[in-house]
């Protein structure tokens, strides 16, 4: 399909990307029209260049420095350079026809006319939309008007937050799209509107659409006094987009004693303290479309809020806005200033960015067939990247590789390292995000990109599949790849349940294919040296492993228990590391965690656990997500007769015997490159990988028993062979 993309910092292009795959709680919509949000979307377009972008947002410098510290100067430079050609999806509001749906949805049918929203949906010929962000369009509302539903729900949520009452005098500062819609909705609610803007044509438009008073911003203070008989406005909406605090200053000046200010724009929030205090003004922020915004359970997983407790959700706001349009109580046709076909999207954005164009609502129109309701949707989920003379010739003996999952770990680590291995050909990049798949495929010169991993499994030229998707998908995708005759490199964790572990063991045994797990610490420079030191011991050892991962908390996806949380997702690294360093099986664990059920602490992910190993050694694992981001990430201490050693953050190692030896690196040596090289070398020699399916299973089962111990506050035995159905060793 064709999709509108931002390439680099400022270029708007239309490129071919794979069609989306329908997922649970989602539908696929073929748009007829989509609306460009002039404020939100143009904020990410930096026509002034990189220096101006950094000057406007100095935090970019900190981001670059953190990348240098984590990756090293050259990889960080590659990432910065890649930003100038990276793809980003724009747009989140449109209307069209449902052409595909997941079987678990009953409220939509193929052929339904719907309006949709949602961050990342974008402007494209096929849009994946979550059930709670799509609503049916009344028969009286045309597609070109229904595509306003998302912006309308944003305006509606702001009006609800303000709690406007009958007869209240309300000011709207900023008469862009959202401001114009707020002004109309306040009128519907029974308020009297004073509309304010810098542009005379927008002031006049607001007047035509029902504002009781409409004035230029320069006259706002005097106009507000006249409009309210000297009392001041009951409520003021800040709906402007400005890099100054002028709208805030004006809002406070024209607001009455104990009045209200609601921010729904993008301005510098800098209010005069003394005036705010003396007037005792209440300030509110209006967040997106309403309750449900930014809640993954609502927006992605289709979990609605109970009607009796949350009357107006995102979805219900969208429905109500369409109802008001159907009754012609809200008018959007006068707001439309320009329409462009999809292929001319760059001209549409140029129009929005040009102050002289007088643009307000700019629509993109799609070439939708009149027979689409009766035509089966045939998605194109594979798109070639290199064509004709650009296509690399096939080389005898090379290994075809596909990578599933286009996230940061893929682009920072796996793809550069795969490309560095001789006689390896990157055949495919697969991602549910078609734009990201295409961008990664172009950057790393893959043959094609796709949105459905079954395309990869069916490709006979692919011998190895790298799985770098979200944790909950690892096991199923690894099993499918093995049974398709592929060797597999799967990022940790291998699995999240014992049942998945059994299925993986069976798949490896029955297919005879190779599977390795991304336990890169076994290849990290200082951990390799530490293992050599521990191999010289003559008695059991004590390991003390402390991990600080504050990033895996809050709403970050890895903290979600459905994805395994921090323990199954990350602590498995350290269970495997302790086993490998000691070369001894873990046999039991006792663990205690922070209290669960408290907001944002993710108590179950903050744990102190003691493992007993078969050779009598003891390993302590302290894993935290509540620590400071300025603390070191990981520290491992090892004690054995005559030995004390400390490894920290992949960057330093201190070994204490009769003498003290210490070594350090400025850039962490994490072992990713060495593991990938070892994996391919052993495949070519017909040897099993150094890390096998049993290692992934051991780490998963040990983490499950650790979590069980913290829940029951009782020790738990660890016997992964028995749990998988093998005789215990």
34 pLDDT above the threshold of 90: yes
pLDDT at 619: 98
DSSP 529-572: HHHHHHTT-SS--EEEEEEE-TTS-TT-GGG-GGGTHHIIIIIH
CATH 3.40.50.720 location in the chain: 152-285, 382-519
Q: Which helix (H) or strand (E) holds 80?
A: helix 73-82
- Residues 196-216 pLDDT 10s: 999 999 999 999 999 999 999
Contact 487, 464 (CB under 8 A): yes
599 pLDDT above the threshold of 80: no
The DSSP letter of residue 344 is G
Please report, for residues 321, 361, 492, 517, the alpha-carbon distance to residue 634 in angstroms, rounded to integers and kept in the order given.
51, 51, 17, 20
Contact 417, 426 (CB under 8 A): no
What's the mean per-residue pLDDT of the chain? 92
pLDDT at 523: 98
Q: How many CB atoms lie within 10 A of CB 205?
A: 21
Which range (211-225, 354-368, 516-530, 702-716) has the least confidence? Answer: 354-368
Residues 627-634: contacts with CB under 8 Å, at least 24 apart: 627/548, 627/549, 627/550, 628/548, 628/550, 629/550, 629/551, 631/548, 632/548, 633/547, 633/548, 633/549, 634/545, 634/546, 634/547, 634/548, 634/574
Mean pLDDT on 6-10: 87
- Superfamily of segment(s) 382-519: NAD(P)-binding Rossmann-like Domain (3.40.50.720)
pLDDT at 44: 67
Largest CA distance in the chain: 92
Hey, what are 695's tokens? Answer: 């290692």
Q: Taking the CA atoms of the chain, what radius of gyration do you get in angstroms?
A: 29
Q: Crossing angle of helices 693-712/498-511, nearest 10°?
A: 170
Contact 540, 643 (CB under 8 A): no
Which range (384-388, 631-635, 654-658, 690-694) has the least confidence? Answer: 384-388
pLDDT class of 395 with cuts at 50, 70, 90: confident
Q: Crossing angle of helices 149-162/177-189, nearest 10°?
A: 50
- Angle in degrees, CA 290, 60, 118, rounded to 5: 25
pLDDT at 367: 85
pLDDT at 370: 44
Which range (63-77, 355-369, 680-694) has the least confidence? Answer: 63-77
Residue length, the chain?
Answer: 729
pLDDT at 63: 63
pLDDT class of 59 with cuts at 50, 70, 90: low
- Residues 285-308 pLDDT 10s: 999 999 999 998 999 999 999 999
Mean pLDDT on 123-128: 95
Q: Which helix (H) or strand (E) holds 488?
A: strand 487-490
Report the predicted TM-score, pTM, of the whole model to 2 decimal places.
0.89
Torsion angle, alpha carbons of 690, 488, 634, 593, to 10? -110
Torsion angle, alpha carbons of 129, 132, 136, 142, to 10? -60
Hey, what are 550's tokens? Answer: 């504050």
- Residues 508-541 pLDDT 10s: 999 999 999 999 999 999 999 999 999 999 999 9
pLDDT at 437: 96
Contacts of 26 (CB under 8 A, 6+ apart): 101, 102, 105, 128, 129, 130, 131
Spacing of C-alpha 172 from chain mean position: 33
CATH 3.90.180.10 location in the chain: 2-44+90-148+295-368
Q: Which residue has the tokens 């329409």?
A: 339
Mean pLDDT on 632-638: 94
Fold of 152-285: Rossmann fold (3.40.50)
Q: How far apart are CA 630 and CA 456, in angstroms?
A: 41
636 φ, ψ (degrees, to nearest 5)? -120, 125
Q: How far apart are CA 534 and CA 537, in angstroms?
A: 5
DSSP 154-217: HHHHHHHHHT--TT-EEEEE--SHHHHHHHHHHHHHT-EEEEEES-HHHHHHHHHTT-SEEEEG
- What are residue 101's DSSP bridge partners? 27
pLDDT at 57: 58
Contacts of 378 (CB under 8 A, 6+ apart): none
Spacing of C-alpha 111 from chain mean position: 30
- Residues 319-362 pLDDT 10s: 999 999 999 999 999 999 999 999 999 999 999 989 899 899 99
Hey, what are 485's tokens? Answer: 């005759």
Q: How far apart are CA 512 and CA 109, in angstroms?
A: 44
Q: How far apart are CA 675 and CA 691, in angstroms?
A: 9
Query: Which residue in 211, 205, 179, 142 sits closest to 363, CA to CA?
Result: 142
22 pLDDT above the threshold of 90: yes
Domain 2-44+90-148+295-368 CATH assignment equals 3.90.180.10:
yes
Residue of higher predicted confidence among 533 and 389:
533
The DSSP letter of residue 411 is I
Please report, for residues 31, 101, 122, 215, 362, the alpha-carbon distance to residue 96 in angstroms, rounded to integers and kept in the order given.
4, 14, 13, 37, 17
Domain 521-668+692-724 CATH assignment equals 3.30.70.980:
no
Q: Which residue has the tokens 């890169």?
A: 520
pLDDT at 373: 54
- What are residue 618's DSSP bridge partners? 542, 612
pLDDT class of 79 with cuts at 50, 70, 90: confident
pLDDT at 390: 62
Contact 531, 498 (CB under 8 A): no
161 pLDDT above the threshold of 50: yes
590 pLDDT above the threshold of 70: yes
CATH 3.30.360.10 location in the chain: 521-668+692-724
Three-state DSSP at 90 gives coil
Beta-strand pair 448-450/127-130: unpaired
Three-state DSSP at 466 gives strand
Residue of higher predicted confidence among 559 and 435:
435
Let me know if 636 is exposed, middle or buried by CB neighbors in 10 A (0-12, 13-18, 19+).
buried
pLDDT class of 6 with cuts at 50, 70, 90: very high
Torsion angle, alpha carbons of 403, 406, 407, 409, to 10? 30
């Amino acid at each position: 399909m064709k999709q509108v993309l931002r390439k680099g910092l400022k270029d708007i292009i239309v490129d071919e990307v794979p069609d989306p795959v329908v997922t649970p709680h989602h539908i696929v919509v073929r748009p007829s029209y989509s609306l460009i949000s002039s404020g939100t979307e143009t904020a990410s377009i930096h026509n002034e260049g990189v220096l101006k972008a950094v000057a406007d947002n100095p935090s970019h410098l900190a981001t670059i420095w953190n990348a240098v510290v984590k990756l090293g100067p050259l990889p960080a430079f590659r990432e910065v350079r890649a930003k100038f050609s990276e793809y980003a999806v724009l747009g989140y509001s449109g209307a069209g026809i449902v052409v595909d749906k997941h079987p678990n949805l009953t409220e939509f049918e193929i052929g339904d006319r719907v309006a949709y929203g949602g961050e990342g949906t974008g402007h494209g010929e096929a849009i994946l939309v979550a059930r709670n962000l799509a609503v049916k369009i009344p028969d009286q509302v045309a597609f070109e008007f229904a595509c306003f539903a998302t912006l309308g729900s944003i305006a509606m949520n702001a009006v609800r937050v303000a709690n406007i009452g009958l007869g209240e005098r309300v000011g709207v500062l900023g008469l862009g799209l959202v401001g114009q819609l707020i002004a109309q909705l306040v009128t519907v609610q029974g308020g009297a509107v004073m509309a304010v803007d810098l542009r005379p044509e927008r002031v006049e438009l607001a007047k035509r659409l029902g504002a009781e008073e409409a004035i230029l911003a320069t006259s706002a203070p005097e106009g507000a006094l006249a409009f309210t008989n000297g009392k001041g406005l009951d409520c003021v909406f800040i709906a402007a987009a400005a890099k100054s605090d002028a709208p805030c200053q004006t809002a406070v000046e024209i607001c009455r004693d104990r009045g209200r200010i609601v921010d729904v724009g993008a301005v510098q929030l800098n209010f005069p303290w003394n005036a705010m205090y003396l007037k005792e003004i209440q300030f509110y922020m209006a967040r997106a479309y309403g309750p449900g915004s930014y809640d993954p359970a609502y927006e992605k997983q289709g979990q609605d809020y109970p009607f009796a407790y949350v009357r107006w959700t995102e979805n219900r706001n969208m429905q109500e806005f369409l109802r008001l349009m159907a009754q012609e109580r809200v008018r959007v046709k006068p707001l439309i200033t320009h329409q462009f076909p999809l292929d001319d999207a760059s001209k549409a954005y140029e129009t929005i960015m040009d102050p002289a164009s007088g643009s307000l609502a700019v629509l993109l129109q799609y070439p939708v067939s009149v027979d689409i309701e009766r035509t089966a949707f045939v998605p194109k989920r594979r798109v070639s990247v290199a064509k004709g003379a650009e296509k690399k010739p096939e080389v005898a003996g090379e290994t075809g590789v596909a990578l599933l999952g286009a996230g940061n770990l893929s682009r920072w680590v796996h793809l550069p390292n795969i490309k560095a291995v001789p006689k390896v050909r990157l055949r495919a990049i697969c991602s549910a995000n078609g734009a990201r798949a295409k961008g990664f495929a172009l950057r790393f010169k893959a043959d094609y990109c796709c949105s459905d991993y079954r395309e990869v499994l069916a490709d006979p030229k692919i011998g190895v599949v790298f799985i770098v998707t979200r944790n909950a998908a690892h096991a199923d995708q690894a099993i499918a790849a093995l049974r398709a005759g592929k060797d597999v490199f799967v990022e940790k964790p291998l699995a999240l349940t014992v049942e998945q572990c059994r299925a993986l063991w069976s798949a490896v045994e029955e297919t005879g294919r190779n599977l390795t797990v991304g336990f890169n610490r076994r290849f990290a420079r200082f951990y390799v040296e530490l293992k050599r030191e521990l191999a010289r011991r003559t008695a059991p050892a004590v390991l003390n492993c402390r991990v600080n991962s504050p990033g895996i908390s809050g709403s970050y996806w890895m903290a979600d228990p459905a994805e395994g949380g921090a323990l199954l997702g990350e602590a498995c690294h350290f269970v495997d590391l302790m086993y490998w360093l000691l070369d001894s099986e873990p046999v039991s664990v006792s663990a205690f965690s922070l209290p669960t059920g408290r907001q944002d602490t993710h108590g179950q992910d903050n744990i102190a656990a003691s493992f007993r190993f078969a050779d009598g050694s003891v390993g302590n694992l302290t894993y935290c997500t509540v620590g400071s981001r300025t603390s070191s990430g990981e520290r491992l201490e090892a004690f054995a007769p005559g030995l004390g050693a400390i490894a920290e953050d992949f960057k330093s190692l201190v070994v204490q015997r009769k003498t003290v030896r210490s070594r350090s690196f400025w850039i962490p040596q994490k072992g990713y490159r060495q593991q990938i090289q070892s994996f391919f070398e052993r495949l070519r020699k017909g040897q099993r990988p150094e890390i096998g399916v049993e290692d992934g299973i051991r780490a998963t089962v040990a983490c499950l028993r650790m979590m069980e111990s913290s829940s029951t506050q009782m020790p738990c035995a660890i016997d992964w062979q028995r749990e998988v159905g093998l005789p215990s060793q």
